[in-house]
A = this chain, B = another copy of it.
Amino acid sequence: MANPENLTLLTDLYQLTMAQGYFREQRMGEASFSLFIRSYPPNRGYFVAAGLKDVLEYLQTLSFDQDALDYLAAQKLFSEDFLHYLGALKFTGDVWAIPEGRIFFKDEPVLEVSAPIIEAQLIETFVINQIHLQSIIATKAARCVHAAGGRPVVDFALRRAHGTDAGMKVARASYLAGFAGTSNVRAGQQCGMPLVGTMAHSFIMSFEREIDAFRAYVSSFPNTSILLIDTYDALTGAHNAVRVAKEMAGRGEKLIGVRIDSGDLAEQARTVRQILDEANLREVKIIGSGGLDEYDLSEFSAANVPFDSYGVGTKMGVSADAPWADISYKLVEYNHRPVLKLSTGKWSWPGRKQVFRYHDGAGQFDRDVLGQRDEHLAGEALLTEFMHDGKMRARYPSLIESRKVFAEDFARLPPDVKAIRDPDHYTVEFSATLNALHQDVIRTLQGN
C-alpha cells in the first residue's frame, strides 16, 4: 500500500521523464523558476498571496519511498541508476516568496525557486496546485469581505468545494482574507479559526411543526442559537422565532439570530427586521445565506439591506466567476544564464527577480516595480527568503499573523483597485535593468 500522506508522486509524469533526461545528460546545474499570474480574471485587479505554508511543508518532506520507486520501475520508462538517484533525492534549494496575506499583482513572481534543475522542476505541479487554489480563493474571499462593508462573513463552502483538500484550504484562505469563521469543523481543529453554525432545513422538517423544531434546538443551545426560518415560509418562520425568543427571554436566555437562505433575500430581510423590531427584538440578528457572492453582498450593502452578517458558500469556495487563473511556473535562469520563452501570448521575464513596492504620502500603494533580485531600489522588497539550502530560514508566521498582514495590506490598496466590478489596474513597472536584460536575452535567442 502506498503511503497516503506522501505527496511526492503528486506530480506530472513529464516532470519525471524530463528529470531522467537531465540526469542522463548530467545536466545538474542550478535552475531558477518564477511563479506568476499572467493576466487578471474578470473583475479582478489584485491577488492575495496564499498557499506558501503548504509548499514549504511539502518541500521539507519531499522524498520517494519504496512504493513510489517500485511503481515507477513498473512503468518501464526509467533506468535503474535514475531511480536510485530519485531514492536519495531531497529538496536542497532556496525559496523566495511574497508572504501569505500580502497583495500582489499580475506579472509579479509570488514565488521563486532556485535549486538543482531536477528538484526545481519536479515540484512544479504541487507548487502551482496549492498556490493557485489558495490565492484565487483568498482573492475571492477578500472581495466578499470588502463587499459586505463591515458585516461579518463566514465560510459555508465545504460541501461544494472541490474535494476534501479544497474544503480545508478554502476555510483557511477565506479566514486569511478576513472571514470571521468557518462551518468546517476539521478546519477549525487543524487551523484554529472560529467555528460557526446554525441549523439545516432537515432539522425543521424532521419535526411535524416548525415551532417544535425551534424549541427543541434552543433547549440544547440556550445562548448560541440561530434559527433557520425559511423552510416553509420566512415570515411565518419569523413569527415562530419571535414566540420562541420571548419564551427564551422568560427563562433568561437569548436568541442570537435568524437565518434566511432562499427566495428574495433583500425583501425578506426587510420584512423580518420589521417583525423582529415590532416584537422589541432589535438585538436579534439576521443572517443571510443561499448562493451569495460579492456581487450580491455589494448590492445589499449599497441598498442598506438589514442583514447583520452573511454565510457565503459555493460561489466563494469554487471562485465561481473565476475558477482558475493563468498561473505559470517558468524557468527564468539556468546555470546563471537568464532564459525566457517566446511562445505566442506566453512570454516570460528572465532572471531572478524582486518586487519593489512604493507608497504614496498617505501610505497607500502607489506602484510596484519589478526588478532583478540583486537590484537596490527604494521600494519595499516583497519577496522574502523563506528557505535556504532546503532549510527553513525562520519561524513560519501563524495564520493569525498572516491575517493581520492581509488586513494591513488591504487597507493600503487604492479603493478603485478594490472595486467589485471593472477595477482599475494597479501600476506595475519593469526596472530599466530588467528591461535591458529582457532585450539582451531576446537578441541572443533570435541570433541562434
Contact = CB atoms under 8 A, between A and B. Distances in A.
A160 B134 CA distance: 11
Nearest to A51: B163
Nearest to A343: B262
A25 B201 contact: no
A331 interface: yes
A221 B232 CA distance: 65
19 contacts: A9-B189, A11-B186, A12-B158, A12-B183, A12-B197, A14-B198, A17-B199, A121-B200, A125-B159, A129-B163, A162-B318, A163-B164, A163-B165, A165-B166, A202-B331, A208-B448, A209-B448, A264-B344, A318-B318
Contacts of A15: 200
A323 B345 CA distance: 25
Contacts of A393: none
Contacts of A108: none
Interface residues of A, number: 108
A435 B319 CA distance: 38
Given A130-B163, A205-B341, 10 more contacts: A2-B189, A12-B183, A14-B200, A22-B206, A125-B159, A130-B164, A162-B165, A163-B164, A262-B343, A262-B346
A128 B10 contact: no
B185 A12 contact: yes
A190 interface: yes
Contacts of A190: 2
B345 A216 contact: no
B130 A195 contact: no
A160 B262 contact: no
A196 B13 CA distance: 6
A176 interface: no
Given A162-B166, A344-B263, A33 B202 contact: yes
Given A220-B17, A314-B324, A323-B318, A261 B230 contact: no
A168 B125 CA distance: 13
A220 B436 CA distance: 37
Contacts of A342: 231-233
B331 A201 contact: yes
Contact of A189 (B27, B68, B156): B68
Interface string A1-30: 010110101111111111011101101010
A445 interface: yes
Contact of A224 (B25, B77, B186, B201): B77
Given A161-B162, A206-B27, A185 B13 contact: yes
Contacts of A24: 216, 219-220
A-B CB proximity, top 9 nearest: A13-B197, A163-B165, A263-B344, A162-B162, A14-B197, A202-B331, A9-B186, A262-B343, A165-B165
A10 B159 contact: no
